[in-house]
């Protein structure tokens, strides 16, 4: 389905310009990390690329037809959305939606519950678990369909070190088994560990887009340099 092409993409909310125009190509493989100050438009860009908000202009295209491409994407939201169901049923939900039989869906879900260390909590209602546990469920639920493209919006924003390590391990594994990842983060350390490419956003625009090494060694723009140095970018 790659490359993904965003062409002249922009988003408006009630006449207010939020992001764009953005031109962007993402090819298969690797982890693209989206960085930038609060309100830069990271969440909006991710949702626009995923196709769940209306574009004011432009389009996102894939090498495969839109419908096929849509079916091979998952999205992990900034604050995890838990269905009011058990952990297991949350994990199985995307499979059930895609008409897999209940039995095998539940087996897959169990495998994933064990994998994220929640096998003891499988039957507990997911909305009542801790933030870190919910985030892991959200990620496992996104990965359970083996998507070709995975979007994550600050997947470790409110997690401690241990939980962050677990999430990063799951992401690395997904990436090595053929999932292309686009994620936003405020954690520069995480970006250094994970990124193969960096997209730096500022004021609804892409300020810089380069390979991760290059981005951190010789920041391509002024704002990016300040951001990496830990200065406040406005």
Ligand X SMILES: Nc1ncnc2c1ncn2[C@@H]1O[C@H](COP(=O)(O)OP(=O)(O)OP(=O)(O)O)[C@@H](O)[C@H]1O
What residues make contact with ligand X under the rule CB under 6 A? 13, 18, 36, 38-44
Conformation bin of residue 204: beta by default, left when phi > 0, alpha when psi is -120 to 50: left
Q: Is 44 in the site for Mg ion (CB under 5 A)?
A: no
Q: Which is nearer to ligand X, 42 or 197 (CB)?
A: 42
Residues 6+ apart with CB under 8 A from 50: 73, 75, 151
Is 2 a binding residue for another protein by CB under 8 A? The answer is no
Q: Does 13 bind another protein (CB under 8 A)?
A: no
Task: Tell me if 85 contacts another protein by CB under 8 A.
Answer: yes
Nearer to ligand X, 41 or 80 (CB): 41
Least distance CB 201 / ligand X (angstroms): 7
In degrees and rounded to multiples of 5, residue 82 shows phi and psi of -105, 130
Task: Determine if 43 is a binding residue for Mg ion (CB under 5 A).
Answer: yes
Least separation in angstroms between residue 211's CB and Mg ion is 24
| Residue 52 interacting with another protein (CB under 8 A) | yes
- Nearer CB in complex with another protein: 70/225: 70
- CB-based closest residue to Mg ion: 43
What is the edge-to-edge ordering of all strands in the sheet holding 73-76? 73-76, 149-153, 180-184, 31-35, 197-202, 205-211
Helix runs in the chain, H state only: 42-50, 66-71, 87-97, 102-115, 131-143, 161-176, 188-194, 212-217, 222-229
62 scored as a contact of another protein (CB under 8 A): no
Question: For another protein, which is the closer residue by CB, 84 or 102?
Answer: 84
Burial 142-170 (b: 16+ CB within 10 A, else e): bbbbebbbbbbbbbbeebeeebbebbeeb
Residue closer to ligand X (CB basis): 105 or 182: 182
Whether the Cβ atoms of residue 32 and residue 43 lie closer than 8 Å to each other? no
Min separation Cβ 76 and another protein, Å: 9
Helix (H, G, I), strand (E, B) or coil at 118: coil
Binding residues vs another protein (CB under 8 A)? 47, 50, 52, 70-71, 73-75, 77, 81, 83-85, 93-94, 97, 124-125, 127-128
């Amino acid at each position: 389905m790659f490359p993904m092409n965003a062409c002249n993409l922009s988003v408006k909310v009630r006449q207010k310009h939020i992001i764009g125009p953005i031109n962007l190509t993402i090819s298969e493989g690797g982890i693209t990390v989206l960085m930038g100050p609060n309100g830069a438009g990271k969440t909006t860009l991710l949702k626009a690329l995923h196709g769940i908000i209306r574009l004011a202009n432009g389009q996102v295209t894939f090498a495969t037809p839109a419908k096929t491409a849509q079916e091979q994407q998952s999205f992990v939201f900034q604050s995890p959305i838990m269905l009011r169901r058990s952990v297991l049923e949350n994990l199985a939900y995307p499979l059930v939606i895609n008409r897999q039989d209940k039995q095998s869906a539940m087996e897959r879900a169990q495998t994933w519950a064990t994998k994220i260390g929640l096998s003891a909590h499988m039957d507990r209602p997911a909305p009542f678990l801790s933030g870190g546990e919910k985030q892991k469920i959200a990620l496992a639920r996104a990965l359970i369909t083996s998507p070709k493209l995975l979007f994550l919006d600050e997947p470790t924003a409110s997690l401690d070190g241990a939980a962050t390590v677990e999430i990063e391990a799951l992401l690395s594994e997904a990436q090595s088994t053929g999932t292309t990842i686009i994620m936003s983060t405020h954690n520069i350390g995480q970006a250094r560990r994970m990124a193969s490419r960096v997209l730096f956003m500022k004021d609804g625009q892409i300020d810089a887009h380069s390979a991760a090494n290059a981005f951190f060694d010789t920041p391509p723009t002024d704002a990016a340099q300040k951001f990496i140095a830990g200065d406040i970018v406005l």
